[in-house]
Amino acid sequence: MSKGAPKTPAWWFGDAAVPWWAQLLAPVYAGATGLRRRLYRGGLLRQRRTDVPVIVIGNLAAGGAGKTPLTIAVVQKLRDAGWRPGVASRGYGRKDEGMARWVTAETSPEEGGDEPVLVARRLAVPVRVDRDRAAAARALAEAGCDIVVCDDGLQHYRLARDIEIEVVDGARRYGNARLLPAGPLREPVERGRCCDFRVVNLGHGGGEVGTGFGEWPMQLNARAAVPIAGGRPRALASYIGIRVHAVAGIGNPQRFFDMLRALGVGVVPHAFADHHAYRVEDLQFGNDLPVLMTEKDAVKCAPFADARCFSIPVDAELPAAFWVALLDRLARLR
């Protein structure tokens, strides 16, 4: 594992005992977040509503669950259905997070955030980053968007929403089901029952992971390996039986490594913290083996990537019935 790899507490998703200090702090966190929810529900804290429908895609557990691939898929389906979508995001990890800005394909990840830049490059739709997601949604509506998709922000109650989609990591689920810092949850598991849809990320192929009643399965299908420095894409099958350096700075790097291994690729894993700011040295491994990385990491490594480096884009695939249900709900709002 590489220097700077994420240090997820062993007790969150494993069998390790929860430290006493985490057990003491969890009720404090629960009280503070619970009070905040009640203040919004009671109207003492005011939600901000836009003139267009808002879809919020988020998760309860800290770390990645596959929100951005789902956001991209939702926006694509909305465009196909005749909507003019825009994407709102906080743009976590960018410089000067207090400044709102428009993100385009030319925006640097340092200024726009890695996930918003990835969305802008994949979709060419209006993308607005703002710590205040309600303000971002208003800006998108004023720019001509007739629907806003919020990438993350399930707990950002200031933004009123019409549809909530909870995304769950199919392998890790809710871990030990405790609230921070005793567990990975930002809100109790019961909060998910208030969401309109629950999407379970099964990763590549799903493996032994399944879905329960009322859950929608999502698979992430890897596309060809795309040279970051330019050139023709290569089929992932060309790496079968070949050792590669696999680089992932996402919420759950293991998901990326497992996907490559399932395809028959010989993986030398290098996990970095989510939203890691890459440097040239991070990709120096002492040999010339190919370097395969997530698309999210590739947008940050593009300025110094060489011929060894490839991006592995993934597409979210969900049942046709999910899209029928989502578009039917939106038709009633429209």
Radius of gyration of the chain (CA): 20
| 50 annotated binding-site participant | no
Tokens of 281: 């040295």
Element (H, E) at 22: helix 20-41
The answer to the question of whether 264 is labelled as a binding residue is: no
Phi-psi sector, 151: left (phi>0), alpha (psi -120 to 50), beta: beta
CB 203 within 8 A of CB 171: yes
Q: How far is CA 7 from CA 11, 13, 251, in A?
A: 11, 12, 11
Q: What are phi and psi of 149, to 5 degrees?
A: -110, 120
Does 251 carry a binding-site annotation? Answer: no
* 71 annotated ligand-binding residue: no
241 is in an annotated binding site: no
Q: How far apart are CA 152 and CA 57, in angstroms?
A: 5
Cα gap 264→291, rounded to integer Å? 15
Which two structure tokens, joined as six digits, stand for 233? 């894409």
Whether 65 has a binding-site annotation, put simply, is yes
Q: Is 66 annotated as a binding residue?
A: yes
- Neighbouring-strand partners of residue 128: 88, 102
User: From the centroid of its chain, how far is CA 162?
Assistant: 20
**68 known member of a binding site:** yes
Q: For residue 217, what are the β-bridge partners?
A: 200
| DSSP 8-class letter at 250 | S
The whole-angstrom separation of Cα 50 and Cα 140 is 9
Buried b (16+ CB within 10 A) or exposed e, 162-192: bbbbbbbbbbbbbbbebbbbbbbbbbbeebb
- Residues belonging to the binding site are 61-68
- Residues belonging to the binding site for ATP are 61-68
